Each structure stands twice: as C-alpha cells, then as structure tokens.
Amino acid sequence: MKSIAIIPARGGSKRIPKKNIKKFSGKPIINYSIEAALKSGLFSEVIVSTDSEEIAQISRAAGALVPFLRSKENANDIATTADALNEVTLELRKIGKDFDFACCIYPTALFMAKGDLKKGLDLLLENDFDTVLPVVEFSYPILRSFKIENEKLKMNWPEHYDSRSQDLEASYHDAGQWYWYKPEKLLENPTLFTTNTGAVQLTEDRVQDIDSETDWQIAELKYKSWKSRNQH
C-alpha cells in the first residue's frame, strides 16, 4: 500500500503576508511540515500544492515535489482544501500515479509528530475510517458558552446554567495539523470529514492556530518550549 503527503500552500495570505514561507526560527515555516513528512518514512512522495512559484522553489529546496502549479480555479478565495487535494489526485493519475491513502498536511503544522501520524494511519486501517484527524479539547466547556443577541448576553444552552464544568461532556475541535483520507472517497464526497471520521487527541500545548501576528508570537513560544522538552 502506498501513501502520499499533500501540503496545500496557496500563495495569497491576507492576514499574514506570505505566511506559508515566512521565516519561523530561521527557516520558512513550510519547511517544518516538509521535513517532518519526509522523516516520518510514511510516504512514498511528499507533494506541495501551490499556485506560487516562490513557494514551489522553497518547497523543492526543502525536499518536496511540486510537479505542477495549482490551477487558478483551485487557488481563489472560495476554493476548498478538498478541491486542491482532489486536483493533485487527478493530475497524478494522468501520469499513471495512484495511491491507496493520502495525508493532507498543513504548511504551518509545527507540532506534527511521527507517532501521531502513524497512529492516525493505524486508525484509518484498523477501523475502516474514511478520514482521521488530530483534535484538541476545548479549554472551557462549550455547553456553558454564550452568544450576544441585540446586545444581550444569552447562554447557548441555558439548561446548563447550574452545571458544573467537570460534569459536562468534553468537546473537541480540529487541531489544524493534518488528516489522513482515502483519495477515492474524497473524490466522491468533498465533505468527507463530516461522516466516517476517527480522531487522534493532542494536548493543548501542541496546538496553535496561526491566523494573526499574535498567534505567530504564541506559536514561537510554544514551539521553543516543545522542542526544549523533547531534547531531554
């Protein structure tokens, strides 16, 4: 069985200009995802899907393959990640390449670990899932969350007004690092992640969205701490 890693890295980033290749601790942030994927030994090929020649050059220098630039249709603001992944699958099939499993790896997956990737693949195989992704528990129970309507604060679930936090069921969100999937299934259903999906749970110190400069600074602090702990 063959597996492929696909790193979707569009050139246009409005909140953090050139986010996918911005220097993080001395090298382009996408290099961390490429290097971790290559070192894992889980993939026959590591491919970057991008519409940017600059990102393509940096990715090739880091050891990834960029067999073609992403089409304009799949690089605009309304194109989904699934669109980009399916484009790679179909383009590779044109040159006779096919894969049993694929893993979408985000270009800012700084905390990605081989053990988690392997666990995700094992779950995909053992449970016949269509997708597997890493998740992290919300730091506060969402059943006690609020909304604002007409400037008034209201509970989303008022029945839990008196519930103790420790008595409420835990909720999780996507850790935003990677997800395994079956290429054929994604071609059939671009909303695959809403159906037969498994999860690998991560701790909060290994998860960080990077959508603003503040997020970036927090990620640097978390990364230094994580690397320091893993060197001992």
Interaxial angle between packed helices 114-126 and 29-40, expressed in degrees from 0 to 180 and rounded to the nearest 10: 60
pLDDT for 61: 98
Question: How far apart are the C-alpha atoms of 179 and 56, rounded to whole Å?
Answer: 22
Confidence at 221, pLDDT banded by 50, 70, 90:
very high
Residue 94 token pair = 């044109």
pLDDT for 230: 75
Residue 50 token pair = 């991008």
Confidence at 15, pLDDT banded by 50, 70, 90:
confident
> What kind and span of H or E run contains 103?
strand 101-105
Residue 28: closest CA among 4, 1, 52? 52
What is the per-residue pLDDT across 24-36, written as a single tens digit (0 to 9) for each? Answer: 999 999 999 999 9
What is the per-residue pLDDT across 98-157, written as a single tens digit (0 to 9) for each? Answer: 999 999 999 999 999 999 999 999 999 999 999 999 999 999 999 999 999 999 999 999
Collapsed DSSP state (helix, strand, coil) of residue 210: coil
What is the per-residue pLDDT across 48-71, written as a single tens digit (0 to 9) for each? Answer: 999 999 999 999 999 999 999 999
Q: Which burial class, exposed, middle or buried, applies to 208 when counting CB atoms under 10 A from its CB (0-12, 13-18, 19+)?
A: buried
Question: How far apart are the C-alpha atoms of 224 and 105, rounded to whole Å?
Answer: 21
The DSSP bridge partners found for residue 137 are 172
Is the pTM higher than 0.85? The answer reads yes
Residues 6+ apart with CB under 8 A from 101: 1, 2, 3, 4, 121, 124, 180, 181, 182, 183
Furthest CA-CA distance within the chain: 61
Q: How far is CA 102 from CA 170, 189, 204, in A?
A: 29, 15, 26
Question: How far apart are the C-alpha atoms of 68 and 72, rounded to whole Å?
Answer: 12
What is the per-residue pLDDT across 154-213, written as a single tens digit (0 to 9) for each? Answer: 999 999 999 988 899 999 999 999 999 999 999 998 887 777 999 999 999 999 999 999
The domains located in the chain, with CATH, are 3-135+172-230 (3.90.550.10)
Asked whether residue 232 carries a pLDDT value surpassing 80, the answer given is: no
Question: How far apart are the C-alpha atoms of 181 and 81, rounded to whole Å?
Answer: 13
Residue 207: closest CA among 171, 172, 176? 176
pLDDT for 50: 97
> What kind and span of H or E run contains 213?
helix 213-230
pLDDT for 45: 97
- Contact (Cβ atoms closer than 8 angstroms) between residue 204 and residue 139: yes
